[in-house]
């Protein structure tokens, strides 16, 4: 019996076979759907300090938007079960971008309708369902672009399309009734200052860190004996908790100003931006030095040998051969450093350095979580934007051989 | 052209080049031949001061190399290494233009020179100028490496096992190119290899090295016929000695002028080994010889090979 069982004797299957073609997309759709059903889309509180109650998507947004989100989700589900093809990935990228924008618009519309019938002190914030659906949609866009093998031009265009949609909605007042927007409304002057200060802190630390770190890396590759002690110091610095390092710098910098009042004129002090920048530079050194060393060590020895043999001077070899060849690794290090510094600069608000951390700590102190978000969201956005810009820049480097 | 005078180089107290003296006249194709660790590469790299000598003097064109700044010296000497060392972030034209640009040649002259060299190495400038090294085959990369070394028209070319890493067919073609370039330009070439066949094919002079010293210096025929000692004899290999002898002699040396023979003619530049091969394949003991234009020069017979 079993010996005769073969493909020829098997009855033809009439059942529709469902084959999963894109596990990533399928998981994202399932996670988003589960979140929409089980968690709240909007959190409504009587005032900004009290935790609110969650409202489900359909009660918060009504039938229309819910159906729209459901249809987009269903289309993406269908896409995850369809055979892979370039047009399909294009469609997924467009649908997922659309889903992201629709969810954002729905959030704004839902919060407005809640605000219309509530007291002026009432606050509406995004709930777990919103965050999860929006994240899944964003990941679906990224995944689709990756599967398309989209070049940097397409990525830039996708970012502009989605970012542009969000900006237009924001300018049209879609998000004005959200709690975070009301926190912003009462602080928009401070917000602009905080963003500028945050960027200044990042630029003011990454710049000097590059000027110190790259030469240190070059020195370490030239003199191998230097590497052990250098990395020991930098690794140790990296393990000092950021709050502790910010605090530890207060004493020496105050002493410096007391001993040499000249520095006070330059804005140096025990608290404020000076110790923050010193600490951020110290944290930035390890990734910069490490990537400089790794990048230079990765340059084929035969290439340097040939360059010497042709009569390039040591300086010409460094500038024309070694650094350009190490540049991709250096840029990777710079990405890490900028993202890390944007995050760490938040903590610098504790010692009076200003920046977006001001809102985070103010919000924590008041237990006003939307104020925390007002500090945290732009920080995340800034980090993503910097990462994206540097990645695009690295991809645009001319005439680069792979590897 | 090059005079090495009692050169010594020690690593950790152990001499890798031991009181070595060698004169290489201008226009010579001198092959430093030996097994790995015999000091041949070190000797080569002391000529352009990539390795400093511990003792002795090296003169290039009569000048003591230590009296020149190392960069200026190296820009006068072409240098080719086994792994080509092409700059991966520069295209072929920029790679070849390296030394001319260091010497601040005007751009027009650099351009013309790049084209000239690509043509010399049989690479079509229109196709290859803009390519990057990773887009080239191993053989093409080494052709560009040779072109780059020749770019500033150096009086001297140093080649450190340049064809050791390419496949046999490509190696054969590259050996043909370098022999042709040497024949045409009469540049002084110092060439390091461990491949005896390569040395016999290319060299006008071979220096066999052993333990940092020259075991024997001579023309390929001298080495084959009169090995100075057992080491040289063993190194060259007694097996197949006859074939090696045939491979270093030319048909022109054994030509019977005026005598004819039927069949496809041989070139007078062909080796006796080629002649033996042709006779064996065609089952004949006599072949005609004609020059490149097809004018009959004479013939060669089987008995001439062993004369």
Looking at residue A401, its pLDDT comes to 45
> Which residue among A306, A311, A399 sits closest to B89, beta carbon to beta carbon?
A399
Contact between B212 and B16 under an 8 Å Cβ cutoff? The reply is yes
How large is the average pLDDT for residues A169-176?
87
Residue A44: which pLDDT band, with cuts at 50, 70 and 90?
A: confident
Name the residue of chain A whose CA is nearest to B136's CA: A401
Looking at residue A115, its pLDDT comes to 80
Residue A4: which pLDDT band, with cuts at 50, 70 and 90?
A: very low
Q: What is the pLDDT of residues A304-349, one digit of tens each?
A: 999 999 999 999 999 999 999 999 899 989 999 999 999 999 998 8
How large is the average pLDDT for residues A370-383?
90
How large is the average pLDDT for residues A240-258?
83
Phi-psi region of A352 (alpha: psi -120 to 50; beta: other; left: phi over 0): left
pLDDT of A150 > 80? The answer is no
Q: How far is CA A2 from CA A8, A9, A178, in A?
A: 13, 11, 67
Angle between helical axes of A273-297 and A224-239 (0-180°, round to 10): 140
DSSP per residue over B29-74, as a string?
EEEEE--TTSSHHHHHHHHTTSS--SEEEEEETTEEGGGS-HHHHH
Return the structure tokens found at B280: 């064996």
The DSSP symbol for A271 reads S
The region of weakest confidence among A6-20, A369-383, B161-175 is: A6-20
Looking at residue A402, its pLDDT comes to 43
Q: How many CB pairs under 8 A join A and B?
A: 71
DSSP per residue over chain B, as a string?
-EEEEEEEEEETTEEEEEEEEEEE-TT-EEEEE--TTSSHHHHHHHHTTSS--SEEEEEETTEEGGGS-HHHHHHTEEEEETT----TTS-HHHHHTHHHHHTT--HHHHHHHHHHHHHHTT--HHHHTT--GGGS-HHHHHHHHHHHHHTT--SEEEEESTTTTS-HHHHHHHHHHHHHHHHHH--EEEEEES-HHHHHHH-SEEEEEETTEEEEEE-HHHHHHS-SSHHHHHHH-STTHHHHHHHHSBGGGG-EET---SSSPBPTTSBHHHHHHHHHHHT-SEEEEE-TT--EEEEEEHHHHT-
Rounded-to-integer distance, Cα A331 and Cα A130, Å: 34
Name the residue of chain A whose CA is nearest to B70's CA: A311
How large is the average pLDDT for residues B92-113?
95
How large is the average pLDDT for residues A73-77?
92
CA distance to partner chain A, nearest, from residue B70 (Å): 7
Q: Given an 8 Å threshold on Cβ–Cβ distance, is A324 in contact with B85?
A: no
Return the structure tokens found at B305: 């090979």
Distance of CA B279 to the CA centre of its chain: 29
Mention every residue, 6+ apart, whose C-beta is less than 8 A from residue A311.
B70, B71, B72, B73, B74, B75, B99, B102
DSSP per residue over A241-256, as a string?
-HHHHHHHTHHHHHHH
Rounded-to-integer distance, Cα B232 and Cα B223, Å: 8
**Among B71, B84, B88, B96, which would you mutate to test the A interface (most chain A Cβ atoms within 10 Å of its Cβ)?**
B88
Looking at residue A1, its pLDDT comes to 41
How large is the average pLDDT for residues B52-73?
93
How large is the average pLDDT for residues B49-72?
93
> 3-class DSSP state for residue A352?
coil
Percent of chain B with pLDDT over 70: 100
pTM across the whole model: 0.79
Of A402, A128, A311, A152, the C-alpha closest to B134 is A402
Q: Given an 8 Å threshold on Cβ–Cβ distance, is A306 in contact with B132?
A: no
Q: Which residues are bridge partners to B299 per DSSP?
A: B256, B288
pLDDT of B59 > 80? The answer is yes
Name the residue of chain B whose CA is nearest to A316's CA: B102
Strands B14-24 and B2-11, bridge-based pairing: antiparallel
Q: Which residues of B lie inside 8 Å of A (Cβ-Cβ)? A: 48, 50, 70-75, 79, 81-91, 98-99, 102, 132-134, 145, 148-149, 158
How large is the average pLDDT for residues A202-223?
93
> Which residue among A311, A321, A403 sits closest to B87, beta carbon to beta carbon?
A321
Of B192, B147, B179, the C-alpha closest to B34 is B192
Rounded-to-integer distance, Cα A145 and Cα A92, Å: 9
How large is the average pLDDT for residues A226-232?
90
ipTM (interface pTM): 0.85
How large is the average pLDDT for residues A14-40?
83
CA angle A370, A374, A377 (to 5 degrees): 110
The region of weakest confidence among A267-281, B87-101, B105-119, B213-227 is: A267-281
Higher pLDDT, B261 or B231: B231
Rounded-to-integer distance, Cα A2 and Cα A67, Å: 51
> Which residue among A308, A400, A401 sits closest to B50, beta carbon to beta carbon?
A308
**Among A304, A305, A308, A310, which would you mutate to test the B interface (most chain B Cβ atoms within 10 Å of its Cβ)?**
A310
Rounded-to-integer distance, Cα B54 and Cα B42, Å: 12
Contact between B290 and B270 under an 8 Å Cβ cutoff? The reply is no
Residue A403: which pLDDT band, with cuts at 50, 70 and 90?
A: very low
Strands B296-301 and B286-290, bridge-based pairing: antiparallel
The DSSP symbol for A62 reads -
pLDDT averaged over every residue in chain A: 86
How large is the average pLDDT for residues A204-216?
94
Q: Position of tokens 């500028």?
A: A196
Burial class (CB in 10 A: 0-12, 13-18, 19+), A371: buried
Percent of chain A with pLDDT over 70: 94
* Dihedral angle, C-alpha A388, A390, A392, A397, nearest 10 °: -170
CB atoms within 10 A of CB A229: 10
Contact between B10 and B16 under an 8 Å Cβ cutoff? The reply is yes
CA distance to partner chain A, nearest, from residue B159 (Å): 11
Contacts of A401 in chain B (CB under 8 A): 88-89, 132-134
Task: Assess A314–B contact: CB distance below 8 Å, yes or no.
Answer: no
The DSSP symbol for A350 reads G
Contacts of B134 in chain A (CB under 8 A): 401-403
Phi-psi region of B161 (alpha: psi -120 to 50; beta: other; left: phi over 0): left
Contact between B179 and B202 under an 8 Å Cβ cutoff? The reply is yes
pLDDT of B144 > 60? The answer is yes
Q: What is the pLDDT of residues A156-167, one digit of tens each?
A: 888 899 999 999
Contacts of B73 in chain A (CB under 8 A): 311
Contacts of B69 in chain A (CB under 8 A): none
Mention every residue, 6+ apart, whose C-beta is less than 8 A from residue B265.
B287, B288, B289, B290, B294, B296
Question: Which segments of A81-187 does DSSP mark as H helices, in order?
Answer: 86-116, 128-148, 152-171, 179-185
Q: What is the pLDDT of residues B188-216, one digit of tens each?
A: 999 999 999 899 999 999 999 999 999 99
Q: How far is CA B218 from CA A231, A236, B2, B186, B222, in A?
A: 55, 63, 16, 19, 6
Looking at residue A14, its pLDDT comes to 52
Q: Given an 8 Å threshold on Cβ–Cβ distance, is B89 in contact with A313?
A: no
Of A187, A165, A161, the C-alpha closest to A174 is A165
How large is the average pLDDT for residues A300-304?
93
CA distance to partner chain A, nearest, from residue B128 (Å): 15
DSSP per residue over A325-336, as a string?
HHHHHHHHHHHH
pLDDT of B69 > 80? The answer is yes
pLDDT of A15 > 80? The answer is no
């Amino acid at each position: 019996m079993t010996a005769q069982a073969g493909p020829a004797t098997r009855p033809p299957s009439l059942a529709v076979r469902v084959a999963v073609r894109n596990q990533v997309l399928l998981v994202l759709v399932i996670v988003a759907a589960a979140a929409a059903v089980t968690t709240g889309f909007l959190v409504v509180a009587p005032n900004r300090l009290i935790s609110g109650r969650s409202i489900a998507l359909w009660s918060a947004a009504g039938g229309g938007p819910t159906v729209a989100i459901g249809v987009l989700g269903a289309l993406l589900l269908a896409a995850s079960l369809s055979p892979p093809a370039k047009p399909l990935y294009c469609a997924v990228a467009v649908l997922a971008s659309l889903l992201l924008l629709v969810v954002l618009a729905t959030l704004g519309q839902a919060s407005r309708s809640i605000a219309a019938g509530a007291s002026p002190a009432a606050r509406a914030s995004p709930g777990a369902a919103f965050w999860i659906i929006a994240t899944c949609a964003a990941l679906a866009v990224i995944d689709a672009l990756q599967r398309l093998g989209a070049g940097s031009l397409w990525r830039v265009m996708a970012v502009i399309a989605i970012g542009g949609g969000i900006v237009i909605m924001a300018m049209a007042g879609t998000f004005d009734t959200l709690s975070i927007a009301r926190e912003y409304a009462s602080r928009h002057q401070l917000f602009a200052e905080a963003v500028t200060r945050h960027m200044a802190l990042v630029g003011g630390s990454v710049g000097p860190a590059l000027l110190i770190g790259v030469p240190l890396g070059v020195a370490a590759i030239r003199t191998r004996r230097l590497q052990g002690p250098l990395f020991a110091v930098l690794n140790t610095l990296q393990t000092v908790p950021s709050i502790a390092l910010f605090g530890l710098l207060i004493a020496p910098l105050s002493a410096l100003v007391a001993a040499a009042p000249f520095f006070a004129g330059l804005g140096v002090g025990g608290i404020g931006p000076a110790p923050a920048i010193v600490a951020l530079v110290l944290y930035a050194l390890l990734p910069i030095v490490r990537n400089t060393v790794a990048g230079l060590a990765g340059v084929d020895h035969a290439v340097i040998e040939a360059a010497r043999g042709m009569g390039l001077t040591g300086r010409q070899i460094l500038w024309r051969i070694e650094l350009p060849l190490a540049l991709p690794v250096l840029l990777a290090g710079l990405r890490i450093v900028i993202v890390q510094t944007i995050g760490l600069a938040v903590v610098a608000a504790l010692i009076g350095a200003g920046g977006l951390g001001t809102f985070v700590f103010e919000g924590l102190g008041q237990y006003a979580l939307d104020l925390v978000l007002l500090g945290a969201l732009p920080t995340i956005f800034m980090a993503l934007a910097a990462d994206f810009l540097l990645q695009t820049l690295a991809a645009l480097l001319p005439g680069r051989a792979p590897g | 052209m090059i005079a090495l005078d009692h050169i010594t180089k020690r690593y950790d107290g152990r001499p890798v080049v031991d009181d070595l003296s060698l004169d290489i006249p201008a226009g010579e194709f001198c092959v430093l031949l030996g097994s790995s660790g015999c000091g041949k590469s070190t000797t080569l790299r002391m000529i352009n001061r990539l390795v400093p000598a511990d003792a002795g003097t090296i003169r290039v064109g009569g000048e003591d190399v230590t009296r020149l700044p190392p960069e200026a010296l190296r820009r006068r000497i072409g240098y080719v290494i086994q792994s080509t060392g092409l700059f991966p972030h520069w295209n072929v034209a920029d790679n070849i233009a390296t030394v001319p640009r260091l010497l601040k040649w005007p751009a027009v002259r650099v351009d013309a020179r790049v084209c000239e060299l690509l043509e010399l190495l049989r690479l079509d400038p229109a196709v290859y100028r803009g390519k990057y090294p990773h887009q080239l085959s191993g053989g093409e990369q080494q052709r560009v490496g040779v072109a780059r070394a020749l770019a500033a028209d150096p009086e001297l070319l140093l080649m450190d096992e340049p064809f050791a890493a390419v496949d046999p067919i490509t190696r054969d073609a590259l050996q043909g190119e370098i022999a042709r370039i040497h024949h045409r330009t009469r540049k002084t070439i110092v060439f390091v290899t461990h491949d005896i066949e390569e040395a016999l094919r290319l060299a006008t002079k071979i220096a066999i090295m052993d333990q940092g010293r020259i075991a024997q210096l001579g023309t390929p025929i001298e080495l084959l016929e009169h090995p100075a000692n057992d080491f040289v004899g063993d190194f060259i290999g007694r097996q197949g000695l006859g074939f090696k002898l045939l491979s270093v002699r030319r048909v022109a040396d054994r030509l019977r002028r005026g005598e004819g023979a039927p069949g496809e003619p041989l070139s007078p530049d062909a080796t006796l080994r080629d002649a033996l091969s042709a006779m064996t394949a065609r089952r004949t003991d006599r072949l005609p010889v004609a020059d490149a234009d097809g004018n009959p020069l004479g013939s060669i017979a089987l008995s001439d090979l062993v004369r």
